[in-house]
Amino acid sequence: MGTVCTCLKEYTAEENQLDIEKEEIFSKNSLKTSGHLKNSLNVPKPNPNDTIKIQSAIRGCIDRIKLKRNLSKVSCSNILITSNTNKPTSETQEDINQYSNPATLAAEKRSGVFKYPIQEDDGVKVSLRKAVTLENSSIYIGEWNNSNERHGRGTQLWNDGSKYEGYWKNGKACGKGRLIHGDGDVYEGEWKDDKAYGYGVYMHTDGAKYEGLWVDDKQHGTGSETWPDGSCYNGGYINGFKHGKGYFKWSDGSTYNGEFSENDINGYGVYDWNDGRTYKGGWKGNKMDGKGVFIWPDGRKYDGEYVDDKKQGFGVFEWPDGKKYEGFWLDGKQHGNGVFYSANGEKKEGAWKEGRRVKIIE
């Protein structure tokens, strides 16, 4: 259903700066990173080669990519007969149930009887016919106009088990209708020229669901998606992609509220982990990029610039006991000139290289 994903954004790179050399500036012997804090947060030992990985907007990657690929099936242009094959070849009383299969029967049972909404009369004279076998071997039961086109209320069945029930106009699905795919997926909503257009609901057989606006068979406008694992998204779409402002919640309780661009987290947004960590700031291609603030549940805080998920540029790192580093960063580590403030306010200027103080500036 218009989704592309990677994994839930893991938190690794930032934990490499638990102490940021701490008191190194006052001692030749650097203190070791205190492991009890990380253990108390249930944070795994960081791998310096890891990068922060993010949901590119959806959880359950394989299923959702499959959903996107299956979305093209919504279009009746791929299933419904085209204009040069919509003439009836013969009338038949054969048992139309032979066109059903277990998946479509189960889907129809879940969905219930399709109810035709009241639709404004377009003034076209129609006539009801018996079941008709069409040139593509599908069966149509319903109303026809004087031009021998499906028009008005009607049901069409295909030999793979697919079934469309709803309104037609000049031989194409138009208005309210429901399409049950041969694999059991269901789209019910508005149609225009054989395509999902307007408000509609797409229900996948695994329970994943999209409800919202469509244009030319693609999610377009505002909508919401839910998945069996409890994940959900609510926000904007353009041409089948999550785009604009949106809110995503993962099954573990982590959330992102902010801007998306073609299914990627991109722009300004707030990411809250389920253990209390928070990042507010810029994103680019699903990674922290630009100005941002990262806050840990124990009170640690970084306010500064990020590039490719790593602290880079100028930034300020504060500890809950009052210690603070103000200076430049590169590839996630202090690099360049900076100032370190001790807990009692003592100030020391220095130069850092790859996270280590290499010079004290008097």
Residue 280: closest CA among 304, 261, 260: 304
What is the rounded distance in angstroms from the CA atom of residue 309 to the CA atom of residue 312? 9
The pair of structure tokens assigned to 257 is: 């509220």
Q: How many CA atoms lie within 13 A of 130 on its CB side?
A: 7
Residue 241: per-residue pLDDT: 97
Residue 137: per-residue pLDDT: 86
Pair 316, 303: CB distance under 8 Å = yes
Compute φ and ψ for 352, nearest 5 degrees.
-120, 150
Per-residue pLDDT of the chain (362 residues; tens, 9 = 90+): 444 443 345 544 444 444 433 333 222 222 222 222 222 222 222 232 222 233 333 333 333 334 333 333 333 333 333 333 455 544 444 556 678 899 999 999 999 999 999 989 999 999 999 899 888 889 999 999 999 999 999 999 999 999 999 999 999 999 999 999 999 999 999 999 999 999 999 999 999 999 999 999 999 999 999 999 999 999 999 999 999 999 999 999 999 999 999 999 999 999 999 999 999 999 999 999 999 999 999 999 999 999 999 999 999 999 999 999 999 999 999 999 999 999 998 999 999 999 899 988 87
CA-based torsion, 99, 103, 106, 109: positive or negative: negative
Residue 360: per-residue pLDDT: 86
Pair 225, 219: CB distance under 8 Å = no
CA angle 53, 203, 4 (to 5 degrees): 20
Residue 176: closest CA among 156, 150, 154: 154
Instruction: Say what the pTM is.
Output: 0.76
The per-type count for the chain, helices as H runs and strands as E runs, is 3, 23
CATH code, 90-205? 2.20.110
